[in-house]
A and B are shown apart, each in its own frame.
Chain A
Amino acid sequence: MTDMTTAVGRPESDQRPSPTVAQRQGWSRWNARLIQAFLALTALVWLAPLLYTLYTSLRPYSDTAARGYVSLPGTLNLENYVAAWTQADMPQFFWNTIIVTIPAVVLTLLLSSMVAFAVSRFSLASNLTLLIIFTAGNLLPQQVIITPLYRLFLLIPLPEFLSDSGVLFDSYLGIILIHVAFQMGFCVFVLSNYMKTLPRELTEAALVDGTTVWAMYWRIILPLSRPPLAALATLQFTWIYNDFFWALVLMQSGDKRPITSAIGSLGGLYFTDNNLIAAGALLAAIPTLVVFLVLQKQFVRGLTLGSTKG
């Protein structure tokens, strides 16, 4: 791996013409190897907890009981996964996750792209105020608003078919709405920054041609915003999937909680030994690990869009 250093490394740092070329090249090659060794070691340390979790999850409890947790395996199988899946009622919790996450992501992107479109394409007096309200709202710790929010959710009535509790509290819709309300802040900020970089003439010309505002949004700006929308969809899916707090407090019925909240609050009941904990944790992490493996680029783009303005 080290032999590739010079080929891959930046030419300007390795072959810079200067009086001390030979000296510098020798030093920087040695330096590069040291850095690589450090990075490789750090990467290994970073992967270790997850690799250990995977290893433990594949060993039956009897195997670790007899040989200890730090040992070579006698048997490896998927027993723990089967047990965690059935004992902890995971199919139900995954279904709850789907009911909450998909509408929440779609609504978040739809509503925040509307606001972003309006503030980036029209000079309204309220533009800056709106952007500040949305951006700041997203930065508040969730616990700052939870006490009145909890009361508010108990006071808002819902028809029977939307909530068996009759109110927003303890309903799927309530969880979806608080995700949308909270996550919109970040998305409005990111999307409006992106839409501001699209040429003004696009919509100015359309406006002169008599295109309606809605068509401008739906047929011109939204299709052009596909790159940040894809990145944000990936990011929002991960964040909403990973949420523990909202569903813990605002969803009282344990059997209606999405997977992360469900195992976070009740995991100890089902997962009686470390092998089961490992399998349960990995099962709950599968969708996000898929994001990591398949949509890494989109996820990273989503994260950095908020900090680098485009």
Chain B
Amino acid sequence: MTATTTAPRSRRRRPRRRERFLTRRDVVVLAVMIGIPTLLHVGFVWFPTLASVLLSFTSWDGIGGLGTITPAGIENYRNVVTIYPPFWPAIAHNVLWLVFFLLVATPFGIFLALLLDKELAGTRFYQSALYLPVVLSLVVIGFIAQLIYAPEQGLINNLLSRTEPGEVIDWLGNPRINLWAVLIMASWRHVGYIMILYLAGLKSVDPTLKEAAAIDGASESQTFFRVVFPVLRPINIVVLVITVIESLRAFDIVYVINKGTNGLELLSILITNNIIGEASRIGFGSALAVILLVVSLGAIVPYLYVTFRKDQAA
């Protein structure tokens, strides 16, 4: 046991030498262990992704067999941006969602993590309270949103004493404010999520770094922005990617509230409507999916690059 624990952990691998010990059966077992999960993942995730891209350049109503698929060039994309009314509102809402998460929810989660990292009395309780919404489904949060925002029976209007028909504020029904109301509820969960992730990152920072900065006369904000934040680069990237992806994935809460209509249109909703709606336009839905894919890759590719770059170098 002593020999194993004292050995360096990330030693350079020596492939040729080890493979010699593998019997033919071992190789088969290993191939199956990798093969089955990979087949399942690639078949159900990457194959449909690729199919989305290909189908987006075709026209297919899904009723006839695969033989009835006809090429359509960029027709679907042209239709999406020119004659599909909910497209641009959906883009605007997704952008607003992303900007709100990036500028409000995520920074607030980071701010709370910094305060909790001081480990003042009661921290455990505060931390639990803040992360409680993270375990809830967005469906449940959508229901809670209705309790809070409903016109006559809702908490806010009752607190404001505006429950008479003429004076109610329709938080979820008025397309000028409902997205903001939903963003507040979505942030209720997102802030806790970011707080947990960032707090774990802060705990991993060498405390002597902060001490050294303080002895050198750095203020608390200077210590964070000039010392801690740069050290936490990996976690910053994770938080950034999660914020972007969560904003693009937003679906459940909006669907539960009003199926993503009337001011709550999102790209994810439009794609889904093209499958479970009455008119099934596969090529058109795929074009929307590809637009979502391209935006997502904008976050995924840099993340992969940062995460796996050093693995490759090692």
Contacts and interface: CB of A to CB of B under 8 A. Distances in A.
Contact of A144 (B11, B275, B292): B292
B296 A2 contact: no
Interface string B273-314: 011100000100110011011001001100110011001100
A214 B29 contact: yes
Interface in A228-277: 238, 241-245, 248-249, 260-261, 263-264, 267, 271, 273-274, 277
A13 B150 CA distance: 47
Nearest to A70: B158
Contacts of B188: 46, 49
A142 B48 CA distance: 11
B135 A143 contact: no
B289 A146 contact: yes
Interface residues of B, number: 122
Given A133-B46, A145-B49, 9 more contacts: A2-B121, A16-B214, A52-B148, A69-B155, A147-B274, A152-B44, A201-B3, A249-B275, A304-B197
Interface string B122-160: 110110111111111111101110111010011100110
16 contacts: A5-B120, A32-B120, A43-B129, A115-B33, A133-B46, A142-B268, A147-B274, A152-B47, A152-B48, A197-B9, A210-B21, A241-B137, A249-B272, A278-B147, A284-B137, A307-B238
B18 A141 contact: no
Nearest to A271: B143
Interface of B (DSSP majority class): helix
A309 to B, nearest CB: 8
B49 to A, nearest CB: 5
Interface string B154-194: 11001100010000000000000000000000001000110
B2 to A, nearest CB: 11
A38 B115 contact: yes
Contacts of A277: 143, 146-147
Nearest to A16: B214
Contacts of A46: 129-130, 132-133, 188, 192
